[in-house]
């Protein structure tokens, strides 16, 4: 184990992550300056608000908009963003973008977290089994179904779920997070919340399962043809011992990477699903911001998505290095 080398490996991963994040912030800065109109007016809530000239001037100074674009404004923008100052929303007047996003984030985390959990459990198991028994009936069905799921937009699956389970059968609600009139905090309201959660979680999970099956199956079928599996069989290990001691561990490597990467991507993927179910998370906020041309909110969401993707990549890279010592060399 070479400590210096490992340190350098982690260092280069960190630097790459920071550069990517910086590029997200700079892109935000450029986009905001490209929009026609006075940035101060935009930051104060668009042309719709009535502010006096003095207030405007004060804000211009406050945000450093009277100074040159580069480097003053860029540096100022970077430091403001780092401190969590993302400006003010146009639509929700006076509300800070950071507050709006933080308020909506828990609903998305619940939705996405639960969906990931279900998708990992079912998708990875199914994929590993299909790869272990290549060419079997389960393999054929699972591979076909997961390719189809992979090619299907998950929000459309959500719409189908609403038609089937909400409209036709009337089993589950297909809109919002709470029924009107429920008292928050009671057991009933928790059950009500879970019932509202069922369909959106299923839609997001179905969208993810396809990927997990495909990757887990490919990883497993690579492993079963390796020389050490032949050796294991020659040693007289049973199928179960081969699966648990050799195949499973090695096949999990790409799967773990995909899981880590997906931590970042699923939030973006859930946006359209949330739009279908009017789920009160980041996706709902995105749709409202798009419809109202609420650019500060949109850019705040972009920053959030960018940051979560960068962090997820960081975790994936580090996990890979941790699990596979060859990567560090």
Partner 1 sequence: MSESTVRYSPRGRARAIKGFLRQFLSYGSAQVGLVCLVFFLVVAAVPNILVGPLQTAINATGDFLVPPSGQHLLGTDEVGRDVLNLVVHGARISLMIALLSTVISLVVGTTIGMTAGYYGGRVDVWLMRLTDFFFVMPSFVLALVITPVVLEVMGRGGEILGFRPSLFVILVVIGMTSWAFVARIVRSQTLSLKERTFIDRARVVGSSNFNIMVRHILPNLVPQIAANGALVVAGAIYVETSLSFLGLGDPLQPSWGTLLSLAQRAGAASAGAWWYLGAPGVCVLTVSLSFVLIGNALDDTFNPRRRVIP
Q: Write out the two tokens for 308.
A: 């979560």
Kindly tell me which residue out of 225, 227, 236, 326 binds partner 1, with binding defined by CB under 8 A. 225
Closest CB to partner 1 among residues 67, 275: 275
Closest CB to partner 1 among residues 232, 271: 271
Please tell me whether residue 236 binds partner 1 under the rule CB under 8 A. no
**DSSP state letter for 88:** B
Q: What is the three-class DSSP state of 313?
A: helix
Please tell me whether residue 202 binds partner 1 under the rule CB under 8 A. no
Q: How far is the CB of 310 from partner 1 (least distance, A)?
A: 7
Residues from 151 through 170 that contact partner 1 (CB under 8 A): 151-153, 155-156, 159-160, 162-163, 166-168
Please tell me whether residue 67 binds partner 1 under the rule CB under 8 A. no
Total number of residues shown for the chain:
329
Binding span for partner 1 by CB under 8 A among 21-29, 47-55, 56-64, 80-88: 21-29
Kindly tell me which residue out of 46, 174, 281, 284 binds partner 1, with binding defined by CB under 8 A. 174
Could you tell me the CA-to-CA distances from 3 to 127, 212, 324, 325 in Å, in that order? 36, 33, 15, 12
Residues from 264 through 283 that contact partner 1 (CB under 8 A): 265, 268-269, 271-272, 275-276
Report the alpha-carbon distance of residue 124 to residue 324 in Å, rounded: 19
Please tell me whether residue 327 binds partner 1 under the rule CB under 8 A. no
Q: What is the three-class DSSP state of 27?
A: helix
Closest CB to partner 1 among residues 73, 262: 262
Q: How far is the CB of 288 from partner 1 (least distance, A)?
A: 11
Q: How far is the CB of 238 from partner 1 (least distance, A)?
A: 21
Q: How far is the CB of 20 from partner 1 (least distance, A)?
A: 5
Are 18 and 62 spatial neighbours (Cβ–Cβ below 8 Å)? no
Could you tell me the CA-to-CA distances from 108 to 101, 143, 162, 273 in Å, in that order? 10, 29, 19, 11
Residue 197 contacts by C-beta under 8 Å, 6 or more apart in sequence?
110, 111, 114, 177
Q: How many chain residues interact with partner 1 (CB under 8 A)?
A: 55
Could you tell me the CA-to-CA distances from 33 to 27, 85, 315 in Å, in that order? 10, 17, 33
Please tell me whether residue 208 binds partner 1 under the rule CB under 8 A. no
What is the per-residue burial (b if ≥16 Cβ within 10 Å, else e) of 294-327? bbbbbbbbbbbbbbbbbebbbbbbbbbbeeeeee
Please tell me whether residue 310 binds partner 1 under the rule CB under 8 A. yes
Environment class of 283 (CB within 10 Å of its CB; exposed 0-12, middle 13-18, buried 19+): buried
Q: How far is the CB of 135 from partner 1 (least distance, A)?
A: 5
Q: What is the per-residue binding string for partner 1 in 77-116, x denoting contact by CB under 8 A? A: ----------------------------------------
Report the alpha-carbon distance of residue 218 to residue 212 in Å, rounded: 10
* Among candidate residues 79, 59, 26, 44, the one with its CA nearest the CA of residue 295: 44
Q: Write out the two tokens for 52.
A: 């006096």
Please tell me whether residue 286 binds partner 1 under the rule CB under 8 A. yes
Residues in contact with partner 1 by the rule CB under 8 A: 16, 19-20, 23-24, 27-28, 31, 34-36, 134-135, 147-148, 150-153, 155-156, 159-160, 162-163, 166-168, 174-175, 221-222, 225, 265, 268-269, 271-272, 275-276, 286-287, 290-291, 293, 295, 298-299, 301-302, 305-306, 309-310, 313
């Amino acid at each position: 184990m070479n400590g210096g080398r490992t340190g350098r490996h982690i260092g280069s991963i960190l630097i790459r992550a920071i550069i990517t994040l910086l590029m997200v912030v700079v892109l935000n800065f450029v986009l905001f300056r490209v929009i026609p109109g006075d940035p101060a007016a935009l930051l104060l809530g668009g042309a719709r608000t009535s502010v006096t000239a003095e207030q405007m001037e004060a804000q211009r100074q406050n945000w450093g908009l009277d100074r040159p674009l580069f480097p003053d404004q860029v540096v100022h923008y970077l430091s403001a963003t780092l401190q969590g100052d993302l400006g003010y929303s146009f639509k929700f007047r006076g509300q800070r973008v950071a507050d709006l996003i933080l308020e909506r984030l828990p609903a998305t985390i619940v939705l996405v977290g639960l969906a990931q959990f279900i998708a990992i459990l079912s998708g990875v198991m199914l994929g590993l089994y299909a790869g272990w028994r290549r060419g079997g009936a389960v393999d054929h069905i699972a591979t076909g179904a997961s390719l189809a799921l992979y090619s299907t937009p998950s929000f459309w699956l959500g719409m189908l779920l609403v038609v089937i389970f909400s409209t036709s059968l009337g089993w589950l609600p297909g809109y919002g997070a709470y029924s009107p009139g429920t008292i928050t905090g009671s057991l009933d309201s928790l059950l009500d919340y879970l019932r509202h959660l069922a369909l959106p979680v299923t839609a997001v999970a179905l969208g993810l399962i396809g990927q997990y099956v495909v990757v887990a199956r490919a990883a497993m079928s690579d492993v079963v043809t390796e020389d050490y599996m032949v050796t294991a069989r020659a040693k007289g290990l049973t199928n179960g011992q081969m699966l648990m001691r050799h195949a499973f561990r090695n096949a999990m490597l790409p799967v773990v990477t995909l899981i880590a990467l997906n931590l970042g991507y699923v939030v973006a993927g859930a946006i359209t699903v949330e739009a279908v179910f009017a789920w009160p998370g980041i996706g709902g906020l995105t749709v409202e911001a798009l419809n109202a041309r609420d650019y500060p909110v949109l850019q705040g969401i972009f920053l959030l998505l960018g940051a979560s993707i960068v962090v997820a990549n960081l975790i994936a890279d580090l996990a890979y290095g941790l699990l596979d010592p060859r990567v560090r060399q």
